[in-house]
């Protein structure tokens, strides 16, 4: 039997989280929040949701891993990731859940819709990341690897293969779902860049580059596996 929850990776977003949880509660689904060592002293008891805590900041990817593992241990089959910064158009939740109703075995991902206020570095950065993902999957087509609004069918093997612990996690985990032969559905989502983001331009771009390099050097193994499966 399928069982889905909302999963929120949280780090110092006190101004947004109450509003976000109020919106999510309208869907009558369990909400799991992972506090990644925040310093804002927010009182999570006011939210009346499941809260997991890191004693120090470990990164967005680490927070998601904690949430995924908790969900799996509690018999959830799917997790609907919603980032705490509320950059994404939450009215699209209905469209995600409608696709999920009839497609339990696919990954459902948002892809960004941008207006003229979107920082050019973010837009071009996503295009570069999509290009490298195409190379590192030998032809995988991804519309957006960085948006934090997705429904995952939970798979422990995929999560074990995903080594990233910070912002690059969002990219690597989708690459790994592709390598495990999952199909994808895409939902266009408007992105609001007025919200606070914890993306660190230098640090996180270095980590993303390292992650792409790691995927590139593992490409021969992936191709050998594909060839072997094709011959069976």
pLDDT tens figures, 62-84: 999 999 999 999 999 999 999 99
The beta-carbon contacts of 68-73 under 8 Å, at least 24 apart in sequence, are: 68/7, 68/152, 68/154, 68/159, 69/159, 70/32, 71/5, 71/7, 71/32, 71/154, 72/154, 72/156
Q: What mean pLDDT, rounded, does the chain reach?
A: 92
* Edge-to-edge strand list for the sheet holding 31-36: 50-54, 31-36, 4-10, 78-82, 149-153, 106-113, 183-190
Higher pLDDT, 124 or 40: 40
Calculate what percentage of the chain has a pLDDT beyond 90.
78
Q: Collect all residues with Cβ–Cβ distance below 8 Å to 61 and sequence separation of at least 6.
A: 162, 164, 165, 166, 167, 168, 169, 170, 172, 173
Domain 4-231 CATH (choose: 3.20.20.100, 3.30.70.2740, 3.40.190.10, 3.90.550.10): 3.90.550.10
pLDDT at res. 195: 62
Q: What is the pTM of this model?
A: 0.91
Say which range, 2-11, 12-21, 108-117, 194-203, has the weakest mean pLDDT. 194-203
Report residue 139's pLDDT band, with 50, 70 and 90 as the boundaries: very high
């Amino acid at each position: 039997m399928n069982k889905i929850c909302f999963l929120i990776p949280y780090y110092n977003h006190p101004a947004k989280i109450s509003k976000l949880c109020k919106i999510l509660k309208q869907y009558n689904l369990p909400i799991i929040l992972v506090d990644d060592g925040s310093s804002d002293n927010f009182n999570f008891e006011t939210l009346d949701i499941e809260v997991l805590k890191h004693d120090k900041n470990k990164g967005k990817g680490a927070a998601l891993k904690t949430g995924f593992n908790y969900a799996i241990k509690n018999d959830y089959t799917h997790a609907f990731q919603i980032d705490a910064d509320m950059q994404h158009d939450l009215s699209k939740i209905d469209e995600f859940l409608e696709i999920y109703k009839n497609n339990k075995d696919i990954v459902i991902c948002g892809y960004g819709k941008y207006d003229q206020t979107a920082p050019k570095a973010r837009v071009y950065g996503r295009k570069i990341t999509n290009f490298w993902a195409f190379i590192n999957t030998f032809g995988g087509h991804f519309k957006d690897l960085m948006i934090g609004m997705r429904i995952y069918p939970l798979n422990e093997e995929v999560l074990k293969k995903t080594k990233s612990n910070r912002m690059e996690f969002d990219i690597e985990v989708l690459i790994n779902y592709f390598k495990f032969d999952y199909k994808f559905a895409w939902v266009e989502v408007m992105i609001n860049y007025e919200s606070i983001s914890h993306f660190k331009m230098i640090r996180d771009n270095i980590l993303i580059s390292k992650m792409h390099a790691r995927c590139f050097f593992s490409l021969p193994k992936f191709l050998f596996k594909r060839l072997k499966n094709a011959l069976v």
